[in-house]
Amino acid sequence: MIDVSVVIITKNEERNIKECLESVIGWAQEILIVDDESTDKTLAIASQYKAKIIARKMDVEGRHRNFAYAQAKNLWVLSLDADERVTKELQSEIEEALDAKTKYNGFTMPRRNYIGDYWVRYGGWYPSPQLKLFRKDKFKYEEVGVHPRAFMDEPCGHLKSDLIHYSYKSIEDFLSKLNNQTSREAQKWYGQNKPMRLGRFIWRTYDRFFRSYIGKKAYKDGFMGFIVAYFAGLYQFLSYLKYRELVRKLTLNSLSPEVRGTG
């Protein structure tokens, strides 16, 4: 057994959790699941693998993750999402890395991202190193609701074996998650009271597309690469549109019925 706690954040992950758990069972000393009120079979499946389960409703993603890592009994944490899988090669490398004399506070690992059964190699999607293995006393997430940044005291090591990530089950799933993420991005901007201008976001939409498609060579992935680059640009524009809609809605709600014209 490796003295590491695998921490998995879940919410209705019955389609993913079994394979995720099977990739760490038998070698990780602790498997801890922090579950956000799942209503499917996620917890029933997890219990079959004797995972420790803690129920906690997701509030702010960064805060939720920091809470989860604090519950781990081991100093070292391997943070996984339910749609991620640890390969045998990565397992062996983690075991070697967690030598008692290691000078590192954490390790990045390359992540191999899939859309359906297609491995996306370009557009910045690979190797896309992720800081997933760390000492819990040296690491924390920024406590924001979407795309929180990770902070860790140096030094940081780098593993070479891939973490498998089944990012999106299909294009439909990609669109569904894009819709959810852009809604949360708009809410984050509103909470931060950031100045937002249409011209800036038209520019950022085109910039993100061309940086992905040309600069990061998404075109080498063919039509799938075009989709990846197009959605990268669309993310910016959709977030802006939803931000504008949110501002307008909340502004109207703050006015009296007479001013709104509804009295």
Domain total of the chain: 2
Same domain? For 63 and 160 the reply is: yes
The domain that holds 8 is classified in CATH as 3.90.550.10
Nearest residue to 12 (alpha-carbon basis) of 51, 39, 49: 39
Same domain? For 176 and 154 the reply is: no
Nearest residue to 86 (alpha-carbon basis) of 163, 3, 166: 163
- At 178-222, the pLDDT tens digits run 999 999 888 888 888 777 788 888 898 999 999 999 999 999 999
Residue-number span of the structural domain to which 198 is assigned: 171-260
CA distance 99 to 110: 20
Residue where a domain terminates, one of 135, 152, 168: 168
Same domain? For 111 and 187 the reply is: no
Strands 76-81 and 139-141, how do they pair?
unpaired
pLDDT value of residue 67: 96
- At 5-49, the pLDDT tens digits run 999 999 999 999 999 999 999 999 999 999 999 999 999 999 999
- Residue 132 confidence (pLDDT) above 90: yes
Q: Do 252 and 196 contact (CB within 8 A), yes or no?
A: no
Same domain? For 103 and 225 the reply is: no
pLDDT value of residue 50: 85
pTM of the model: 0.86
Residue where a domain terminates, one of 145, 168, 191: 168
Same domain? For 74 and 101 the reply is: yes
Residue where a domain terminates, one of 149, 168, 187: 168
Contact residues for 40 (Cβ-Cβ < 8 A; gap 6+): 12, 13, 14
Same domain? For 161 and 176 the reply is: no
Integer CA distances (angstroms), 78 to 91, 111, 186, 242, in order: 11, 14, 30, 34
Same domain? For 208 and 101 the reply is: no
User: Any idea which residue has 């439909």 for tokens?
Assistant: 172
User: Any idea which residue has 């680059």 for tokens?
Assistant: 229
